[in-house]
Amino acid sequence: MEKLIKMKLLPMYKLVLLAGIVLISASQVVAQDTLKLTFSEAVDIALSKNLDFQTQSNQMEVLKRQKQAAFASHFPSANIGTTFQQQSGQQYQQVEGEIVVTNVTNEIVSAGLNMNLPLFNSGRRILDTQSARLAYMAGEKGLERAAQQVIFDVSRRYLQVLLDSELLRISLENLENQKKQLEQITGFVDAGLRTVSDQYNQESEVARLESVAITAEVQLENDLWDLSEYLQLEPTVIPELEAVDPTATVVSFEGLSVLELYELAKENRSDLEQQSMLVESTKKSVKAMKAMYYPRLNAFYNYNTFFTSLDDRNLREQLLKVYPQNTIGINLSIPIFNNFQTRLDVGRRNLAYKNQIIQKQSIDRRVFQEVKLAYQNYRAAVSKEENTQVQVLAAEEALNAVRERFRLGLSNFVDLSTANQQLVAAQADQAQALFTLYFQEVQMKHALGTLDVGF
């Protein structure tokens, strides 16, 4: 009967081993290239390829040009124009005080320089300049927050891969220990100190741990792929990450209330600053458009000259000496009725201003909720990390005691297996708690707006 049980267990054990070997071998075939990455290098790659960040970077060029155009509006505008035309038919000429009509072809070349300078437009130029400058500054703040979001996204994936690597290490270490335990139990069975059922139970446990290790390996591969996909690496490139020390976490938020942290976030969150600037920018834009209701005063200067083929003098003499005209003056424009176009433009900008206010209120509420949630998770992570330290120490002592009792024949295999599983679970919980605490500090900094590449 015992031989029959052994014959059934061994094929299952070998099958699990074979599946693990095939899976690991297949992953090694696909992973042709390895790219060593530090966290800062991973962030640099993500910033260079992230769609949202690159889109906002490109938008900054438009905002920059809008700012330049608004500033340049304070200076005169100038245009040079020239035309060439040919007239055929009756031409009117004044000769010795009389109008003479002749049927000829007249070729005319005209040129001119026109300059215009706004003198007064109810402060519209100043308001447009201030609005464009605020919009550009808001864009910079938005780009800064987008970079923090990329850092946060990379850190989450980066730390998850490191956690998976640690869990895989724990699984493999436990598997190796259980294999050694199997050898020891086999020796006890051969010496008649233990029953063969203990050997079979241990063989089953080793097979189970093989499956656990394979699952951990698959999880690591999946999260590596997730990181690679976010960084947009080539399909054949597998990142090899530089490790971080999760025990280096500094508890820097203890003793602070949620309101104190919220005030800190209001000082540092670039998206809040961005929205405040957008509100002010649209407010000035509304005032600038309202200036169109009032009179506008412009100074102008025009220089015009022409050449005609009806005149026998040469092109240079006609253009530069005979026909030049200089005009300088002031133009006053008083709006009376323009089909309500100005009113429509003011209404549109006023609507944009109100929407920006609503958006700012929404962001204020979201920031408070993010800070509150991040702080709650952070405090929970601190408590869990402290508890897992006690949990691991207690599990180690329990396993040592059960091992000794098992060696002396005072405890059975179930007690030994249970104690070992509790230790492994405690070690996995501790690793999870350490990396969770490390990440929660990153999340706190992200919520407060102080996150940078150095965490």
What is the average pLDDT across 32-49? 89
Predicted confidence (pLDDT) at residue 366 exceeds the cutoff of 70: yes
Q: What is residue 7's predicted lDDT score, i.e. its pLDDT?
A: 37
Q: What is residue 4's predicted lDDT score, i.e. its pLDDT?
A: 36
Predicted confidence (pLDDT) at residue 398 exceeds the cutoff of 50: yes
Q: What is residue 6's predicted lDDT score, i.e. its pLDDT?
A: 40
When pLDDT is cut at 50, 70 and 90, the band that residue 359 belongs to is: very high
Predicted confidence (pLDDT) at residue 144 exceeds the cutoff of 70: yes
**Cβ atoms within 10 Å of 26's Cβ, excluding its own:** 11
What is the average pLDDT across 110-121? 92
Q: Give bridge partners of residue 234 from the DSSP assignment.
A: none
Percent of the chain with pLDDT strictly greater than 90: 54
Q: What is residue 249's predicted lDDT score, i.e. its pLDDT?
A: 61
Single-letter amino acid code for the residue at 391: Q
CATH, domain 2-75+121-294+335-448, list 1.20.1600.10, 1.10.287.1080, 3.10.20.30, 3.30.420.40: 1.20.1600.10
Q: Give bridge partners of residue 239 from the DSSP assignment.
A: 35
d(CA 251, CA 359): 33
d(CA 71, CA 68): 5
Q: What is residue 269's predicted lDDT score, i.e. its pLDDT?
A: 95
Place of tokens 């040009």: 65
Q: What is residue 188's predicted lDDT score, i.e. its pLDDT?
A: 78
Pick from 53, 49, 64: nearest CA to 144: 53
Q: What confidence tens digit (pLDDT) does each residue in 42-54 have?
A: 999 999 999 989 9
Q: What is residue 31's predicted lDDT score, i.e. its pLDDT?
A: 42
Q: What confidence tens digit (pLDDT) does each residue in 181-215 have?
A: 888 888 878 887 777 887 888 888 899 989 999 99
Predicted confidence (pLDDT) at residue 100 exceeds the cutoff of 70: no
Pick from 442, 447, 440: nearest CA to 384: 440
Region class of 122: left (phi > 0), else alpha (psi between -120 and 50), else beta: left
Sheet-wide strand order for 77-95: 77-95, 98-120, 296-308, 325-333
Predicted confidence (pLDDT) at residue 276 exceeds the cutoff of 90: yes
- The pair of structure tokens assigned to 42 is 């991973």
Q: What is residue 58's predicted lDDT score, i.e. its pLDDT?
A: 93
Predicted confidence (pLDDT) at residue 59 exceeds the cutoff of 60: yes
d(CA 196, CA 112): 110
Predicted confidence (pLDDT) at residue 21 exceeds the cutoff of 60: no
- Average pLDDT, whole number, for the chain? 86
What is the average pLDDT across 109-117? 93
d(CA 163, CA 226): 14
d(CA 73, CA 58): 24
Q: What confidence tens digit (pLDDT) does each residue in 279-294 have?
A: 999 999 999 999 999 9
Q: Is 251 or 202 the better-scoring residue by pLDDT?
A: 202
The domains of the chain are located at 2-75+121-294+335-448, 83-120+298-333
- State the virtual CA torsion across 28, 30, 32, 35 in degrees, nearest 10: -90
Cα separation values, 320 from 311, 315, 327, 328, Å: 14, 8, 15, 18
d(CA 385, CA 360): 37
When pLDDT is cut at 50, 70 and 90, the band that residue 16 belongs to is: very low
